[in-house]
A and B are shown apart, each in its own frame.
Chain A
Amino acid sequence: MADHQTHTDAPTGEAHVSGEIHHHPGWSTYWKVALILTLITGLEVWAYYVPSFVASRAFVPTLLGMSALKFAIVVMFYMHLKYDHKLFRALFTGPLFIAAVTLIALLFLFGQLVARFGPGN
């Protein structure tokens, strides 16, 4: 994945724009990332059409895991957060963390998570 700035992986330049020099991944990395995203999406849709898997307890965690993986890949490689300044990382992950905690708290508060994982089920 991290084949930065090689001759075979044609250079995509350096990001001088933020005041620091950060290497961005090359073109071939972008194509590989697109392929991986497409494959994961295909897997997600395939999983949706397998009734025995949909009925299993692994269905929701698997889909959430695949979705989180796609999310992380886009953020790290396409949004260059893997290569950018840590302040940008903090500006994104900080609110995302607060939002995620709020989401989980709300789901507990309104009984949506208890309904799935609670002792009565």
Chain B
Amino acid sequence: MSAPAAHHYTSTGLDSRKIAIWAFIGSECMLFVSLISTYLIYKGRSVVGPFPHEVWVSPTGEHFKPILNIPVTSASTFVLLMSSLFMVLALAAVQNKNVPKHTRGQRILGSSKLWLFGTAVAGMTFLGFQAFEFTSFVHEGLSIRTNLFGSSFFTLTGFHGAHVTAGVIWLLTLLSIDYRRGLGPDDALIVDIAALYWHFVDVVWIAIFTLVYLIK
């Protein structure tokens, strides 16, 4: 698939696979905006707690603190942002595989395996943070069935987590190809498509982090 003969040019002169991924990302924008809309519409309309930013006392006298853990989520946001950096470095390394590397720094920057692995690890770390967050929420009394906040929050962040999971699997697949036969400039498109998906997952989280976690 990676040989030049396998390119799928359209009448526009653009590769059909790249057009397809952008069209897919466009449709994903609509999906996530619908989920974010639902979250924002239900925001502040939960009858019972726990609430995202406010203390809540249940009728039985039980105290619930604000449930969102901003320091933990800030750390996971940082990890996801760094994963985007690793991803562009992986793509650059694949595109420049044939460029001679003279220094140790150039060899590190030119290692597609290193950056693909780093991106996948960062993605898995983000998922670990999300699993920790979900588990602690459930322990603190918030599930998907507790209130409107719980339903919309778990649906939105769960969908995003599922996309990150798909991205990690995609990255690990690319990494295994890189180990088996090596990824070179002819494979730049397949890495580029994976990178576009990964960055999209990142920009969705940028929106979620602000709208869900930071804005009270």
Contacts and interface: CB of A to CB of B under 8 A. Distances in A.
B96 A11 contact: yes
Contact of B206 (A10, A11, A71, A91): A71
B15 A18 contact: yes
B96 A44 contact: no
B200 A79 contact: yes
Contact of B29 (A12, A16, A41, A99): A99
B106 A10 contact: yes
B85 A66 contact: no
Interface string B6-36: 0101001111001100110111011001101
Contacts of B41: 106-107, 110, 112
A6 interface: no
Interface string B106-130: 1001000000000000000000000
Q: How large is the interface on B (under 10, 10 to 19, 20 to 34, 35 or more residues)?
A: 35 or more
Contact of A11 (B82, B99, B202, B210): B99
Interface residues of A, number: 54
B75 to A, nearest CB: 10
Contacts of B81: 34, 37-38, 41
Tell which of B7, B15, B40, B81 has the most Cβ of chain A within 10 Å. Answer: B81
**Most A-side CB within 10 Å, residue of B14, B77, B88, B200:** B88
B92 A44 contact: no
